[in-house]
Amino acid sequence: MRRHEPPYGEMKRAPHLEAALAERFPEKEAGPLAELLRTSLKTGGIAFERIDLPDGLKQDCILAAFEERMLIPAVCGCSSAWEDRILRLCPGEIYLMPAVVRKLLDDAMINGRLDPDRAVRDCFLEKDSAQADDLARFFGEIRRHAAARVLEAGLMAAILRGQDTRLDLHAVIDRFVAFGIISPCTRTPMSVGLAWYEINASLCGHDRSGLPRAP
């Protein structure tokens, strides 16, 4: 006899992840969003038709995940920058999970909290273990100095010069982009500075629940 699972609202498949998201999202969003991200976490992405949520709620969760840069549309516009991705909410669309978000959520699945600093550090432990602490510390500094999660490469260079490290800025930026920690801002006029970068929103300290939260 076939076993039928109860509707989503009657079960919690990822209670620790849901608890972590509830610190950042309204309670009614945290549950279904946890289910979307839990499913995406397995393979690093998900197709629209594989999302097992009711219509309407499905679209809302995809939008929330994209706004937080937890899922990124696979379809690019004029560049691979997040702000140039084309978000469509229909069958056939695929949404990808940045590597740093996978680290963030893997840990949340176990510990029930979002720990961005650990996620960033864990990205580099395997191949750059000697520099993992320096890279995590540099990320913490650029996040602190960013305005609305955006900052200019010149400021990043100044922050790096202020640290006792031999990190190369261009190499660091390349690695941060590869892991989904930051993304280029292509719509910022060159007249206002050099290259600009957007920090992944899921690694920042704001929340969407309407309650104040320390970074």
30-54 pLDDT tens trace: 999 999 999 999 899 999 999 999 9
What pLDDT is stored for residue 78 in this prediction? 77
Overall number of domains in the chain: 2
Q: Are both 30 and 89 inside the same structural domain? A: yes
- The pLDDT tens digits of the residues spanning 43-87 come to 999 999 999 999 999 999 999 999 999 999 998 877 889 999 999
- The pLDDT tens digits of the residues spanning 91-121 come to 999 999 999 999 999 999 999 999 999 999 9
| pLDDT for residue 142 is more than 80 | yes
**Owner of token pair 């990190």:** 167
Q: Are both 93 and 126 inside the same structural domain? A: no
Amino acid at residue number 32: P
Considering 48, 76, 105, which residue would you say is the last residue of a domain?
A: 105
Q: For the whole model, what pTM was predicted?
A: 0.87
Residue 38, domain extent: 9-105
Adjacent-strand bridge partners of 196:
152, 185
pLDDT band at 6 (very low <50, low <70, confident <90, very high): very low
Structure tokens at 105: 């959520």
DSSP assignments along 17-76, one per residue: HHHHHHTTS-HHHHHHHHHHHHHHHHHTEEEGGG--S-TTHHHHHHHHHHHTTSSEES-B
Q: Are both 87 and 121 inside the same structural domain? A: no
Q: Are both 176 and 94 inside the same structural domain? A: no
Q: Are both 175 and 95 inside the same structural domain? A: no
